[in-house]
Amino acid sequence: MYANAETAAPVTVPELRERKRRGEKIVAITCYDAGFARCVDEAGVDFVLVGDSLGMVVQGQSSTLPVTVDDVVYHTRLVARGLRRPLLVADLPFMSYRNAELALANSARLLAEGGAAMVKLEGAGWVCDVIDSLKRHEVPVCAHLGLTPQSVHMFGGYRVQGRGESAAARLKADALAVQEAGADALVLECVPAPLAADITRELRIPTIGIGAGVDCDGQVLVLYDLLGIATGKRPRFVKDFLQGRDSIAAAIAAYADEVRRGAFPTPAHSY
């Protein structure tokens, strides 16, 4: 258990970059309601994401694409009620940031109505213009590269990204581009571990890995996955931290401890 969870100062956006500078791992979890948020808070997690993964995990959808801004605002508001210390980050759903004006309006809802401190969006290219606009309007941004679930149809499924020399070079260039556009952090999902390590070394902003190896500046898992209660085929990067433990609190604390010690993910949980 994180000893100072009740008294520690809230995690801020600038603190994430300080964590990277100090070489301190960032512990992140995706959750969707106040009850679980309280458990996550008490375990001393640093970064809580309300992901559009709620479409698959909570709503039973086959992808994240049907999730709406209203859905994310609602769940972000719930999670905010259960948090004191972690930085709260909310996803911009599919096509909710297709231009800068729409992205700003929807981000305003996530911060003002939902209580988030940062928004997350997927991709690079034209998305860099959106990131730049959000930053100019003082909206903190977490970028997301690698396996971006909103692009599942373009990828032909949920596949590892960045394999091969040209694909790796493209992903690295995208990572540098989102940083220069103004992103404050970057999620790397299902990226070969050596490539994720290279990107992490190159960037000034922190990387949060999921299926991207132990060398990222932090790690994120969906709470349902780390508790072993998600349905369907378990991705390679998932570990059931509840197995062998007697409570949800113990499972979350074990996850946080393993991330901070660099014990998770192992090569078996990486690509």
Q: Looking at residue 90, which CATH number applies to its domain?
A: 3.20.20.60
Q: Region 70-89: what's the mean pLDDT?
A: 98
Number of domains forming the structure of the chain? 1
CA 29 from chain centre, in angstroms, equals: 7
In a domain, residue 182? The reply is yes
In a domain, residue 8? The reply is no
Confidence class for position 22, pLDDT limits 50, 70, 90? very high
Across all residues in the chain, what is the average pLDDT? 95
Confidence class for position 6, pLDDT limits 50, 70, 90? low
pLDDT of 4 strictly over 70: no
Residues whose CB falls within 8 Å of the CB of residue 222, separated by 6 or more in sequence, listed in order: 29, 30, 31, 51, 53, 57, 230
pLDDT of res. 166 = 97
Per the structure, the complete domain to which residue 75 belongs is given by: 13-269
In a domain, residue 17? The reply is yes
pLDDT of 239 strictly over 60: yes
- With beta carbons less than 8 A apart as the criterion, state whether 242 and 228 touch: yes
Q: Which residues are catalytic?
A: 189
pLDDT of res. 5 = 52
User: Of 248, 264, 174, 253, which Cα lies nearest the Cα of 216?
Assistant: 264
pLDDT of 162 strictly over 60: yes
pLDDT of 158 strictly over 80: yes
In a domain, residue 1? The reply is no
In a domain, residue 6? The reply is no
In a domain, residue 2? The reply is no
pLDDT of 208 strictly over 80: yes
Which spans in 30-182 are helix H? 34-42, 54-57, 69-81, 100-112, 127-136, 152-155, 165-181
Per-residue pLDDT tens over the stretch 97-141: 999 999 999 999 999 999 999 999 999 999 999 999 999 999 999
Residue recorded with tokens 């034209």:
126
Q: Region 66-77: what's the mean pLDDT?
A: 98
Q: Region 52-70: what's the mean pLDDT?
A: 96
Q: Region 77-92: what's the mean pLDDT?
A: 98
26 beta partners: 218
DSSP count for the chain of H helices, then E strands: 11, 8
Q: Two tokens at 233? A: 């085929």
Q: Two tokens at 19? A: 């964590």
Q: Region 224-247: what's the mean pLDDT?
A: 91
In a domain, residue 161? The reply is yes
C-alpha to C-alpha distance for 251 and 59, rounded to whole angstroms: 24
Q: Region 237-256: what's the mean pLDDT?
A: 96
